[in-house]
């Protein structure tokens, strides 16, 4: 999804900086961008490393002179298991990327955004950030933390020129499993979901929705029918929503 957001922004004439710890992924994005790559800067960086991100800010300012927005899209899931069975090493990695990585980006880039006539921050949480998903409790906790951080930040910035959008995607055909070290890729995941009669939102569609939300300054965005439906169910019938998810996921753990 991050790559699709990059490509859409480039198509709209934006200058874009793509951060990734995966050098190959960045090279592929540059190749796909083709002629638009002149406006693309790629940086290999670990968002969990605050000092590294501070260096990225200096590089960006050196090339483009200003920073008008950040999109915190990086994230990993956990192995499908109970809290009792997950190792602290895995827990720390999930929080370092999903929560502290986004916090590092915000802390480093926000001072620059506040100096712009208009700026935007996008934080990608998850359906698991507002609804407990069995077998993904730690992942959900990291995304719930990002949700509260994002919404609190939006309130703090409400009288400034910096807007904040919090995104809650549902099931998507992305490489998040592979990027989390859990095998599978987007193609395999899509085929698996189709066999079960489920429809996963494509990264391209999700990226278009997110960019549109930026342009319209939407504070909150639920992407996918599952995210929208379960958000309503959880608000009005929380016990039913939790039971429903448990019944869907209990055989995975």
The pair of three-digit structure tokens given for residue 61, joined into one six-digit string? 């300012």
Residue that is written with structure tokens 């008008």 in the block: 68
Residue with tokens 């926000």: 110
Q: CA 132, 139, 238 angle in degrees (round to 5)? A: 10
CA nearest neighbour of 77 among 143, 166, 26: 143
Report d(CA 44, CA 53) in Å as an integer. Answer: 10
How far apart (Å, rounded) are the C-alpha atoms in residues 168 and 80? 20
Catalytic annotation, pick one of 139, 222, 234, 246: 139
How does 121-155 read in b/e, with b if 16+ C-beta sit within 10 Å?
A: bbbbbbbbbbbbbbbbbbbbbbbbbbbebbbebbe
**222 in catalytic set:** no
The string of DSSP codes covering 10-47 is HHTT--EEEEES-HHHHHHHHHHHGGGGGGEEEEE--T
Question: What is residue 172's DSSP assignment?
Answer: B
Catalytic residues: 139
């Amino acid at each position: 999804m991050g790559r699709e957001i990059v490509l859409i922004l480039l198509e709209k004439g934006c200058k874009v900086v793509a951060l990734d710890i995966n050098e190959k992924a960045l090279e592929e994005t540059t190749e796909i961008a083709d002629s638009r790559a002149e406006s693309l800067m790629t940086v290999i960086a670990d968002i969990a490393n605050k000092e590294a991100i501070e260096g990225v800010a200096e590089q960006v300012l050196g090339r483009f002179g200003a920073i008008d927005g950040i999109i915190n899209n990086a994230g990993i899931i956990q192995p499908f298991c109970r809290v009792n069975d997950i190792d602290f090493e895995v827990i720390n990695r999930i929080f370092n990327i999903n929560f502290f990585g986004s916090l590092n980006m915000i802390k480093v880039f926000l001072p620059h955004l506040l100096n712009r006539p208009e700026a935007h921050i996008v934080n990608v949480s998850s359906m698991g950030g507002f609804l407990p998903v069995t077998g993904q409790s730690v992942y959900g906790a990291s995304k719930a933390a990002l949700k509260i951080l994002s919404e609190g930040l939006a309130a703090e910035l409400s009288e400034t020129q910096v807007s904040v959008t919090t995104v809650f995607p549902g099931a998507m055909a992305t490489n998040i499993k592979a990027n989390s070290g859990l095998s599978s890729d987007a193609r395999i995941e899509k085929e698996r979901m189709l066999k079960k009669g489920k429809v996963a939102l494509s990264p391209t569609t999700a990226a278009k929705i997110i960019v549109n939300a930026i342009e319209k300054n939407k504070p909150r965005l639920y992407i996918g029918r599952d995210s929208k439906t379960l958000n309503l169910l959880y608000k009005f019938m929380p016990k039913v929503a939790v039971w429903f998810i448990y019944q869907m996921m209990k055989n995975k753990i």
